[in-house]
Chains A and B, each alone.
Chain A
């Protein structure tokens, strides 16, 4: 991170990279990659109108923007997954236009995507050299040599991953390290990371960042895409903002603050939510007593009052998601009891939980939150369909009204409610999940990582919504691995540690540092 410049936007002297293998003189001046004026339209609809980016050696460059800003299109053009309509991409001095990712990789560009697909039953070494295994006599795989090469590569990069470990035994951050190592084994100099931390916990983020810093000092350039601004300020050296398919601004990250970046991304100033008055000892809407589930969490008791937002914070594997799902009745507890609004919640029956006034925004929209192939309308009404049905027949008129009302109140942006949910941006998808939950008029909302992978503007809308919902006399449980989020939205914060409730702290007075210390 050591950089002598102050506030200069254009120039970065790159004296800190000790391992410059080729063209040391010119590499200092010529950026690794320059993209100018990239445009791309899909059936006449422009997705990218002016994509620009200058990536320098030995830097992490954050590419920021809301959903629909054109980041994915831009990156897909760089990787050769999409053909551009116009514009120039230069790698050092060479103009390039790739036809596929393999060609991009050949030129030293590798992309590590949100959804990794390692072959779970193979070892790290086998995954690293998949399709180009060293062979004996051209037929038999030389496993010994492969493991040796892999171990050497990982050691050289300083990644703490065993080459002989099965991929299925690795954490998600480690899987990403393997992907990075793979990119390096192809001599990649430019690594594109798209939301690398969207599925990993805080501790693992540090493992990943450690790795990023290492490859940076080797002279690589990293394009880093993330909706988590805290991370951007921690890891990035430079930033570029896109909005509505256009380049907006670029510069050094240490010359701006968080508020400036949010404003650039969203396009206008964002007002942060204010919390209401501390709740008095109002009636408890949710009472959990001695809830346990073998191997996941143990003897957890807590109460949530009407009008309150309770945050649950903890590292990955602290049992927070499992706890939330058990309250909701997706999982059955081994012990303990859940009472909502005075009624006992039977285990293993989400349908009943919904009737008792609960609703759940699950951790993974794609996996358990939405029916992606179905339309917006059908997703919104999925929970409430039976209530309005007459003899099993759907009341089409009532359904249409519910959908219209929900799309307006949740501000779901789509051409038509008949559009398939899979074609929506992450933020809009999450709003559909909230809309579905609200159709049953819940009093207790359970949110598991409600803002994962969605842009800053939509995040603020969701925080606002959660606060407003609680203020109307309802209760909300929010599980999140993002400390700033938990602090912004919760009245009280329950800290989970290794399946136990470690402490409950006040959401108004606790600091981010204190929260992280308590959780680890």
Chain B
């Protein structure tokens, strides 16, 4: 009762300015954490460590971009970790030393696998109206099963040099995965900010019925976000496989949670319609920084898990309190 009255009343003034404050505050949180680690460890603020940090964040960043699209439409994609894994596995199988194809074929196969599984998610969610949580939870299990069947539970190693370059190479002295992340982020940002498609995503997430009444093809919009998420999961799978120089059947387990965390820390609402890609990028960077900083400080990985979770919840609580 209390909530409803205030919602209708005059307290809403603060909400007009909150998008500004929001994207700003995430940067402050990021800087605060960085400053803390800078004082805590002398290696933290070095160029090589930052390249390392960015490289470590790139996979989660790529996933977070796709996840932002999905969450903006009020959805969720739990399958990205498994989709990564099957995409990486299929791509890897095409570039081993015993079965070597042109690297582009492997890339197309990996991305295609991701997009195809994303399309299945999208159709089940948008066409058959299965709740996204359930549909993608199913895909999480199915794609993992596909990986295990396809690989017979064995890793695929001995990948060709051009393929290994995706995760290990440099472009203009920046690690290739970081460049890929920036390109993905840039494209995503342009789509969300400057295209009708982007505008429709916000509209569908904000109020699907109103969007439909206004003539937006809501099903196509909703479904497409899963294709984007799947495609980017495929891309992340390529980067991961290349970086680890082998496709592992258990690769990508739990990655969906970090991606969701990045989006949520970045201020995108799970209720849809509000949020930004900039926030998600910084969300991914914050998670990466926490991991990296604690590694440098020699915090045991058991404690890292605990602290990371606490920091995620604290970041969101801080955000709530400010509102």
Contacts and interface: CB of A to CB of B under 8 A. Distances in A.
Contacts of B212: 330, 350
Interface stretch (A255-263, A335-343, A379-387): A379-387
A37 interface: no
Q: What's the interface size class on B, roughly?
A: 20 to 34
A350 B213 CA distance: 6
A374 B210 CA distance: 11
Question: Which residue, B4, B6, B203, B274, has most C-beta atoms of chain A within 10 A?
Answer: B203
A378 B202 contact: yes
A114 interface: yes
Contact of B10 (A72, A115, A362, A373): A72
Nearest to A353: B215
B215 A351 contact: yes
A369 B196 CA distance: 19
A79 B197 contact: no
A394 B4 contact: no
A170 B216 CA distance: 34
A370 B210 contact: yes
A494 to B, nearest CB: 22
B180 to A, nearest CB: 23
Interface of B is mostly: helix
Given A47-B10, A72-B8, A100-B2, A394 B217 contact: no
Given A79-B5, A423-B12, A373 B273 contact: yes
B199 interface: yes
Nearest to A423: B12
B61 to A, nearest CB: 25
A3 interface: no
A82 B8 CA distance: 13
A419 B16 contact: yes
A360 B274 CA distance: 25
B16 A371 contact: no
Interface string A358-378: 001010000111111110001
A393 B194 contact: yes
B42 interface: no
Interface in A195-242: none
Nearest to A117: B4
A97 interface: no
A389 B191 CA distance: 13
A28 B2 CA distance: 32
Interface of A is mostly: mixed
A369 B213 contact: yes
Given A79-B5, A371-B273, A383-B214, 20 more contacts: A42-B13, A76-B5, A76-B9, A101-B5, A111-B1, A111-B5, A115-B8, A350-B215, A351-B217, A362-B210, A368-B210, A369-B210, A370-B210, A372-B207, A373-B273, A378-B202, A382-B210, A382-B214, A389-B196, A393-B195
Nearest to A388: B196
Nearest to A396: B194
A371 B211 contact: yes
A368 B12 CA distance: 21
Given A330-B212, A362-B213, A423-B16, A368 B202 contact: no
A372 B207 CA distance: 7
Contact of B274 (A117, A373, A382): A373
A81 interface: yes
A208 B206 CA distance: 34
